[in-house]
Structure 1
Amino acid sequence: MSSADADADGSSDATAAPGGATAGDPGDGDNGRYVSGWTPYREWFRDRWAQGGAAAWGTALAHLLVGALLFALVAGFDLGSLPIGGSLIWFLYLSLTVGVLYVATAPPAEPYVAWLDERWMESDVDKLLIVLGHVVLVFFVFAVALGLPFNGLVGALASVFFFTAVYAMMVLALNLHWGYAGIFNIGIAGFMAVGVYVMAILSGSTDPGPASVPGLGLPLPIGILGGVVAAALVGLVAALPALRLRADYFAIVTVALSEIIRITLKSTALQEFTIAGITTGTGGATGITMPGNPVRLLFYQSFDAGAEPALLGSVLFPLLEGLRVTLIPPGSSWLGIVPLPAFTLDLAVEPAVIANLAYVLVLAAFVALFYVLLVRTGNSPFGRVLKAIREDEVVAKSLGKDTNRFKIVAFMFGCGLMGLGGILWQGSQGFTNPGAFRPIITFYIWVALIIGGAGSNTGSVLGGALFAGAIWEGPVYVRRVVTNFVEFGDTPGTFPAAVAPLIEGKVLPLLSFLLANVSALRFILVGVILVTLMQRRPEGLLGHRKEEAAAIPLTRPGGGDGDGIGEPTAAADPVADGGRDDAADGGAR
């Protein structure tokens, strides 16, 4: 058969190769392609990983468990004597295993990133779960590196989620001011202080002891309501004369008011005073005792440190303190041949951690309440007017809207939420003082808003989570991990003393100095994040998302009736409306 005929019917004769195999076949001949024994396994692993979800992570987890068992057999470890990942060897083993899996599957991160992108676009709930899930994963790695038991891991996560919740609430309140109404408020700490101190005075104990000033002893709900109303009224006092100012001048007014409030609370004149025979006060620079945390009464019979457990505590504490799961009983073996080390998973949690975690759940409920409240506010006619004021106040005025009244109401509403957020933040501490309301708190809340994106309620929660995990708590755990594995010696007392050894090629003194000054490290990290965001994504993670201009569809179903109503219309000419389109400014938020 000629070559032309072969081309015509799509077939050709195979050229014989030495050894009887055809060229291109993986035969036994020297010219055949050698197939590694690992290739089918790698292809199978890639297929499983590419499926995503339970198949991918189940396969990875199975490899980790099998590898851990083999490693324990070879090293002769008694797994029962180790906490969860509780040694440098286990940390190195997990790192090595993940690295081997990454190289063997070349690389598995691609399907993971694709899955992450797909889930990120699904819904706001998916975005929240992705961020919170990664925060949990990062702090699990910290716990493994530090050799923390399960109780330590839960305690670390409770601390992270506490700050996530309180920052999320404060950022949501700020988003009402800046993201919805365009009000530049940098006096957040002052409104928090008003809410906290009014609540403490109204509901504080009438006999707190010699270390603090007495309160009025009113029920806690009345104190919380009074604190929220007081913060809103202070917002009204600030807004009436100042909202006619431009954004930057109004910001100066709010930060000045915040400092006036803080310094007033430190005043010795208000430290303790008597009105109508009732003695109370702010406590001055010393501070004031907060009412007891009501969540504690779910588990204990009183607020005292050594209180007996209540009904719920008497049931949960013994159950969770003794929670241990035996995965490999003593004396077990594989196929009756290879002895297996005993392995008991220690999942015990201390009562104090349980109570803290319960309060975090209460805060999470308030975050959800803030979120729903602000979403409904934004979708209401009131919220749409606020967005119109944010975009162009002159246009809103030309449409007959009293913009000053709308801005005053929005400012009071946001200040009340800030007061409530401050109460929930400081209410679990048992004690507070004016130093807890420094301007740096306002700065941190603004950073979280910038990270998440102004105008987005979901972005506000994400910004709070990322700030709490990566900036607030993250550097502390990084320092603990590094100092756990590296011996630094004496830490330099000054920055020049830390930099001088660099001339000799010694880096450890500088690293030790930086880790010993986590607060300064936070500022550096904040600066790097802000510069990066301003250059690459100035709108934040979720800012400038498009929204419908109306809460309901304005077209009639089924088309128009001849008068043009309900019929599709051509897109507006960019030149006719001033050349501005959604793509130019990121869309309406």
Structure 2
Amino acid sequence: MSHDSTPPPEDTAPVEPEAANGPDSDPDGRPRWLEDVFIIVKATVLVYGLFLVFGLAAGLDFNGIVSTLQSVTLLAASFALVVLALNLHWGYTGLFNIGIAGFMAVGAYTMALTTAPTDASFPGLGLPLWVGVIAGTVAAAIVGFVVALPALRLRADYFAIVTLAAAEVIRLVYNSSALREFSVLGVALGTGGGQGMSFPNLRNTVSRWIMYADGDPTAGPTVVGSAFLRVGEVLEVSPSVVEGWVYTLVLVVLVAFVFVVVTRIGNSPFGRVLKAIREDELAARSLGKNTDHVKIKVFMLGCAFMGLAGIVWQGRRGYVDPNLFLPIITFYIFIALIIGGSGSNTGSVVGALLFAGLLFEGPPFVQRIVDATFDLPRPPTAYEGFVALGGLDPMPLLGYAVGELPNLRFVLFGAVLVALMIYRPDGMLGHRNEPASPIDLTKAQPPRTRDAPVADGGADDE
């Protein structure tokens, strides 16, 4: 009996395009990060294009259009920071945190108490702004730790109730007259109670520090500042708008940094534990994972990002009060996450951009444009508009609707959510699959010859 010594033929089966691309590529072979950039850029062009068209149609000058785009970008970047943090909680780990506004308030108020002048009406410690930013971020993480300890004994809806209650407790504490003026170890401090408190304007400080020597406009611009001011002169944009864009670009860079951090966390072994907890915490426990410790860590990290978002969002005003952190802020963030798609960091940024640009800032902008372009009648009630409609005059009803656009946007929020639940329940990008392994397991391996060494199966050498 003879044995065939011919080596077996190599497997020449074609590799499917999706498999050949690997887990970090899209079906067209482009890297996943590049595809993410394309998606964000397309969403930005869409939002900018709509504002540009309406602005030009209304006769706005270039300075007005650039200022409007700066405001929209600033709000979108602020939303994106919080949505990314919420995606870390809800999208990755399944923690239903609806106390977002409270953690934002902790960050903003801690920075205010740290940086407000010692001789102000409601004094602070008078420390530099960078110290206040760090203190606010750390304070939000610590409060997140305190909230997480009792809340982790609960699940799902009960966890959400605890976080919502914690956020309201935080807001009411800052609203309390007992903290309007107080002292700690002989140091006078104050939150202003319901009146709020002032502190150094973060927007002006950051933009002028970048643009001018020693942060003083009279000392002359820096090299970077000269470049920005020169571009502003060429485009005939006012220096105040240029300063606003400098601060906005700093926020965009911050969003990119947080995006990278959250993405790296999601692709790490720690991130795979988070997703295992989201899918089945009991199964994760059965594999020896300390899920309570993992949830505390991720909850603290997400709360730190929320506190940072509260700092950069309200820090641009140089003023903070409890009414800026009502529970509705939390639901704005959830709407943005639902639009983009839970579990997708790119969807978080796109959802924040679409929500801030089209749903939040869009209706008031359209109202201003229509008011400046047309002289529509403004009946005091909708009833009078319907009466005029019976007389074949639609202008009063149209004028009333335009006047109520800032309020009607809340109806628009509901309509968008209903449409998403029906036609796109996973959001814009929530359907994207993420690899479970950081290693490309689909890459074609070179054929192994008969004489090639075989990997040790685990037997101990004697």
- Rounded to whole Å, the distance in 2 between the matches of 1:495 and 1:123 is 47
Measure how far apart 1:501 and its partner are. Answer: 2.6
Look up the equivalent residue of 2:187 and give its one-letter code.
I
Measure how far apart 1:315 and its partner are. Answer: 4.0
Measure how far apart 1:321 and its partner are. Answer: 5.8
Map of 1:221 onto structure 2: 130
SS at 2:425 equivalent: coil
- Rounded to whole Å, the distance in 1 between the matches of 2:254 and 2:232 is 28
| Cα shift readout 1:224-271 (whole Å, capped 9, x = no counterpart) | 111111111111111111122121111111111111111111111100
Over 3 Å counting, the alpha-carbon distance change for 1:240 and 1:560 in structure 2 is farther
- Rounded to whole Å, the distance in 1 between the matches of 2:194 and 2:229 is 42
Map of 1:125 onto structure 2: 37
1:437 aligns with one of 282, 302, 325: 325
SS at 2:351 equivalent: helix
Segment drifting more, 548-557 vs 233-242: 548-557
1:546 aligns with one of 406, 428, 433: 433
| Cα shift readout 1:428-475 (whole Å, capped 9, x = no counterpart) | 111111111011111111000000000000000000110111011111
SS at 1:392 equivalent: helix
SS at 1:450 equivalent: helix
Measure how far apart 1:120 and its partner are. Answer: 13
The sequence identity of aligned pairs, in percent, is 50
1:295 aligns with one of 177, 193, 206: 206
2:156 aligns with one of 247, 251, 257: 247
Map of 2:78 onto structure 1: 166
- Rounded to whole Å, the distance in 1 between the matches of 2:31 and 2:397 is 39
Find out whether 1:475 has 2:375 as its counterpart: no
Find out whether 1:512 has 2:424 as its counterpart: no
Map of 2:220 onto structure 1: 310
SS at 2:218 equivalent: coil
Map of 2:347 onto structure 1: 459
- Rounded to whole Å, the distance in 2 between the matches of 1:426 and 1:126 is 30
- Rounded to whole Å, the distance in 1 between the matches of 2:400 and 2:221 is 49
SS at 1:279 equivalent: strand
Moved over 6 A (4+): 117-122, 301-304
Query: Structure 1: which 5+ residue stretches go unaligned?
Result: 1-116, 324-346, 567-589
2:93 aligns with one of 181, 201, 213: 181
Measure how far apart 1:553 and its partner are. Answer: 4.0
- Rounded to whole Å, the distance in 1 between the matches of 2:179 and 2:362 is 38
1:389 aligns with one of 277, 289, 301: 277
Contact 1:146 1:480 in 2 (8 A): no
Over 3 Å counting, the alpha-carbon distance change for 1:203 and 1:414 in structure 2 is same
- Rounded to whole Å, the distance in 2 between the matches of 1:142 and 1:485 is 11
- Rounded to whole Å, the distance in 2 between the matches of 1:384 and 1:150 is 48
Contact 1:317 1:351 in 2 (8 A): no
Map of 2:307 onto structure 1: 419
Contact 2:229 2:242 in 1 (8 A): no
TM-score (norm 1): 0.67
- Rounded to whole Å, the distance in 2 between the matches of 1:550 and 1:475 is 44
Map of 1:278 onto structure 2: 187
Measure how far apart 1:510 and its partner are. Answer: 2.3
- Rounded to whole Å, the distance in 1 between the matches of 2:190 and 2:109 is 9
- Rounded to whole Å, the distance in 2 between the matches of 1:119 and 1:398 is 38
SS at 1:462 equivalent: helix
Over 3 Å counting, the alpha-carbon distance change for 1:531 and 1:119 in structure 2 is farther
Over 3 Å counting, the alpha-carbon distance change for 1:136 and 1:309 in structure 2 is farther
TM-score (norm 2): 0.85
Over 3 Å counting, the alpha-carbon distance change for 1:560 and 1:322 in structure 2 is closer
Contact 1:120 1:126 in 2 (8 A): no
Over 3 Å counting, the alpha-carbon distance change for 1:530 and 1:320 in structure 2 is same
| Cα shift readout 1:496-521 (whole Å, capped 9, x = no counterpart) | 33433333233222222222223321
- Rounded to whole Å, the distance in 1 between the matches of 2:86 and 2:335 is 11
Map of 2:414 onto structure 1: 527
SS at 2:276 equivalent: helix
- Rounded to whole Å, the distance in 1 between the matches of 2:410 and 2:31 is 29
| Cα shift readout 1:67-100 (whole Å, capped 9, x = no counterpart) | xxxxxxxxxxxxxxxxxxxxxxxxxxxxxxxxxx
| Cα shift readout 1:313-348 (whole Å, capped 9, x = no counterpart) | 98468745643xxxxxxxxxxxxxxxxxxxxxxx30
Look up the equivalent residue of 1:551 and give its one-letter code.
P
Map of 2:18 onto structure 1: none
Alpha carbon RMSD of aligned pairs, Å?
A: 2.6
SS at 1:123 equivalent: helix
1:146 aligns with one of 30, 49, 58: 58
Q: Which protein shows a greater Rg?
A: 1
Over 3 Å counting, the alpha-carbon distance change for 1:371 and 1:318 in structure 2 is closer
Look up the equivalent residue of 2:405 and give its one-letter code.
V
- Rounded to whole Å, the distance in 1 between the matches of 2:31 and 2:91 is 22
SS at 1:176 equivalent: helix
Contact 1:119 1:127 in 2 (8 A): no
